[in-house]
């Protein structure tokens, strides 16, 4: 009975009696009327019914009232229970929400820890926390890697221990100044030596307050080794370029002076033949001028500006010719072994320069074997099928002749091997080595289109390997025969030569030398003067000899002007610079020849004769 009525969710209207209640009231009414039926006759029943009506009605009303009161009581009990249930539910909800919050908080904390861990550990630069004495408290992975590749624990070690001795001085103070900004802008540069290789690092620092009032530093380390190496390489190439320019300039001026000195010696020698009292003195002057010319050539070699006179050559023959000199250079305590390969490819090189390369390498080898040893020069053919990287060089595929120069000397320490080809790099005592030997080798080999490498092991020895590109052309003997034939010729000739040269001494010697050989010579001091001469003398000029480097109009400009009117005029360029340097500026004009300075009387006369033919 109370089930549905006690439902606390029922509305106030539910306090009214239900149809079930009315049924109950009806049953009470019927039950009250039932005793009337026990009277046998109708009259008695009627009387009884009348008598029973009043208590019946009272019973029914009482029943209805009771039911109504009962409903209300039930209702109130329901409302209380309902409120209690609701409160209990609210408390449960609150507990659930609190638990959920705690869970979320814990999750967020874990997430934050994970992302901090990632930021800290996976940062692409080193991070370390230092105490006030610059001892490492904590550090990340990159820092550990920078500090020590073997994975040794670095926490608890003073930072200074990881640095190069020169960088350790007063480190805590310097770091503190860096963190406070007192050290000025920019990071602190240090070198870390604890790992396998030395690392150059830039340090940035930040001060933080630590619990307990102490301060700590967070330092950030950037590995700038590659950048520093690049900077060093750039500085090196700038230095090489500057030295090259200097060498080129010096060589140009010297070549003019030497051309005049050698030339006037030649003129004097024509008047002072062997037997004359002055002959020996003039020869001395000429020999010394030639030695000076050799020095200038060395300068030009490493600036790769020298004029090479390449010819087709068999390396086997060149080495055989050179072997006597090499034996003398090596002395008694060093054994010289030359191993020739059969059917070696031909190469096109300047023989004198190639000899210079081999001699420089041999002399270095001798110096590396003070107690004696052996020097082996080995040749072989090699065909490289693929593009190959060798150190900083890329060797294109092709046929090469390989010359190995191998000694059993001290070897080259790994820390200097990178530098040996630098000009002026020498480990020898002042006065005994200029440091130009290997840079000359490098310059000559590169200018010839070849490659040079070094391989060395301390205490075992060093091997220099030279690769020269194969030449597909005519045999060396034929070329040599042609040169020999040229040498024997009579050097006198006829014709008119216009000599353009701004250096008085060179012009004077040149014109006298050519007049002596039978030529008519017209001189011009500059490009502009030469154009005037050509305008006046016109077609009578057969050959123009011109210097290349001149103030205002230089040789190449002059040639371009002359070519506009005299397409057929033969030209010889004379210069202390390499031929390639001006050839590219001239384009493909024909009938342009070249004579490198310094030249002797015979070389000048020979060249003029060859061109005039
Ligand atoms: N075969 C070798 N064995 C050991 N060290 C070598 C060898 N060749 C060169 N070196 C090292 O390379 C350095 C540079 O050589 P390079 O020939 O350029 O100059 P140098 O021999 O010192 O002086 P220079 O050749 O001008 O007289 C040498 O000082 C030496 O330390
Ligand atoms: Mg040397």
Cβ count within 10 A of residue 545: 26
- The CATH architecture of the domain made up of 126-223 is 2-Layer Sandwich (3.30)
User: Quick one: pLDDT at residue 8?
Assistant: 47
Number of helical (H) and strand (E) elements in the chain, helices listed first:
17, 19
How much is the mean pLDDT over the chain?
Answer: 84
User: Cα(420) to centroid of ligand 1, in Å?
Assistant: 7
Residue with the smallest CA separation from ligand 1 atom 19 is 435
Is residue 455 a contact partner of residue 396, using CB atoms and an 8 Å limit? no
Query: Domain map of the chain by residue range?
Result: 2-115, 126-223, 236-302, 311-469, 489-612
Cα of 434 from ligand 2 centre, angstroms: 8
pLDDT of 212 higher than 80: no
Output the CA 419–ligand 1 centroid distance in Å. Answer: 10
Please tell us whether the domain made up of 311-469 is placed in CATH 3.30.565.10.
yes
557 in Cβ contact with 548 (< 8 Å): no
What is the mean pLDDT of the segment spanning 360-374? 94
What's the predicted TM-score (pTM) here? 0.48
**CA gap 580, 306 in Å, rounded:** 9
Please say if the pLDDT value at position 205 is more than 80: yes
**Span from the CA of 362 to the centroid of ligand 2 (angstroms):** 8
Q: Yes or no: say if 447 and 465 are a contact pair by the CB < 8 Å rule.
A: no
pLDDT band at 1 (very low <50, low <70, confident <90, very high): very low
Q: Which tens digit of pLDDT belongs to each residue from 8-31?
A: 445 555 566 677 777 877 887 777
Q: Is 571 in the pocket of ligand 1 (CB under 6 A)?
A: no
Tokens, residue 493 = 């000739």
Residues in the chain: 613
* 214: helix, strand or coil: coil
462 Cβ inside 6 Å of ligand 1: yes
Lookup result for tokens 């030449």: 471
Report the separation in Å between the CA atom of 355 and the middle of ligand 2, taken as the mean of its atom positions: 14
For residue 484, say if its preceding peptide bond is cis, omega within 30 degrees of 0.
no
Q: What would the two tokens of residue 107 be?
A: 């999750």
The three-class DSSP label of residue 436 is: coil
Phi and psi dihedrals of 41, rounded to 5? -95, 160
Pocket flag, ligand 1, residue 420 (CB < 6 Å): yes
Minimum CA distance residue for ligand 1 atom 5: 412
**Mean pLDDT score, 355-359:** 90
Average pLDDT, integer, range 453-478: 86
> Contact 410/368 with Cβ under 8 angstroms?
yes
Residue 495 pLDDT exceeds 50: yes
Report the nearest-CA residue for atom 7 of ligand 1.
Answer: 364
Average pLDDT over residues 401-410: 96
Residue 148 has pLDDT above 80, yes or no: no
Fold of 489-612: Rossmann fold (3.40.50)
């Amino acid at each position: 009975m109370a089930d549905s009525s006690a439902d606390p969710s029922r509305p106030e209207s539910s306090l009214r009696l239900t149809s079930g209640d009315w049924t109950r009231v009806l049953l009470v009414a019927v039950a009250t009327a039932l005793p009337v039926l026990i009277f046998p006759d109708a009259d008695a029943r009627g009387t009884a019914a009348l008598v029973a009506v009043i208590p019946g009605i009272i019973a029914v009303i009482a029943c209805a009232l009771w039911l109504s009161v009962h409903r209300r009581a039930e209702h109130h009990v329901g409302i209380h229970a309902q409120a209690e249930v609701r409160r209990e539910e609210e408390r449960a909800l609150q507990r659930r929400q609190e638990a959920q919050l705690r869970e979320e908080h814990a999750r967020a904390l874990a997430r934050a820890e994970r992302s901090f861990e990632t930021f800290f550990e996976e940062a692409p630069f080193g991070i370390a926390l230092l105490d006030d004495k610059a001892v490492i408290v904590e550090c990340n992975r990159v820092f550990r890697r920078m500090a020590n590749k073997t994975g040794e624990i670095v926490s608890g070690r003073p930072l200074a221990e990881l640095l190069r001795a020169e960088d350790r001085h007063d480190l805590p103070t310097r770091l503190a100044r860096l963190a406070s900004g007192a050290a000025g802008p920019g990071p602190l540069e240090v070198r870390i030596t604890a790992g396998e290789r030395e690392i150059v690092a830039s340090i940035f620092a930040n001060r933080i307050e630590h619990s307990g009032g102490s301060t700590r530093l967070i330092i950030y380390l950037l590995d700038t080794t590659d950048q520093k190496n690049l900077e060093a390489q750039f500085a090196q190439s700038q230095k090489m370029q500057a030295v090259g320019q200097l060498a080129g300039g010096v060589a140009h001026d010297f070549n003019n002076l030497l051309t005049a000195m050698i030339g006037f010696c030649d003129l004097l020698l024509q008047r002072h033949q062997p037997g004359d009292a002055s002959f020996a003195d003039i020869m001395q002057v000429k020999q010394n001028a030639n030695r000076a010319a050799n020095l200038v050539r060395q300068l030009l070699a490493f600036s790769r500006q020298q004029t090479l006179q390449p010819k087709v050559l068999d390396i086997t023959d060149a080495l055989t010719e050179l072997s006597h000199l090499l034996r003398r250079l090596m002395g008694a305590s060093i054994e010289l072994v030359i191993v020739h390969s059969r059917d070696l490819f031909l190469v096109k090189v300047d023989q004198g320069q190639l000899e210079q390369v081999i001699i420089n390498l041999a002399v270095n080898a001798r110096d590396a074997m003070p107690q004696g040893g052996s020097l082996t020069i080995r040749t072989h053919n090699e065909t490289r099928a693929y593009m190959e990287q060798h150190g900083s060089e890329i060797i294109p595929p092709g046929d090469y002749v390989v010359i190995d120069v191998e000694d059993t000397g001290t070897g080259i320490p790994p820390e200097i091997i990178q530098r040996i080809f630098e000009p002026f790099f020498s480990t020898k005592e002042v006065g005994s080595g200029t440091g130009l030997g290997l840079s000359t080798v490098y310059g000559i080999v590169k200018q010839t289109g070849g490659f040079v490498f070094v391989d060395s092991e301390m205490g075992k020895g060093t091997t220099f390997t030279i690769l020269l590109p194969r030449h597909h052309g005519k045999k060396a003997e034929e070329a040599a025969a042609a040169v020999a034939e040229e040498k024997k010729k009579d050097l006198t000739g006829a014709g008119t030569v216009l000599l353009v040269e701004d250096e008085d001494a060179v012009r004077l010697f040149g014109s006298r030398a050519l007049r002596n050989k039978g030529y008519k010579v017209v001189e011009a001091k500059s490009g502009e003067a030469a154009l005037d001469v050509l305008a006046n003398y016109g077609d009578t000029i057969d050959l123009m000899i011109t210097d290349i480097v001149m103030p205002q109009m230089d040789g190449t400009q002059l040639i371009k002007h002359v070519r506009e009117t005299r397409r057929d005029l033969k030209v010889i360029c004379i210069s202390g610079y390499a031929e390639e340097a001006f050839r590219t500026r001239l384009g493909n004009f024909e009938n342009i020849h070249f004579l490198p300075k310094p030249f002797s009387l015979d070389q000048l006369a020979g060249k003029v004769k060859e061109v005039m033919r």
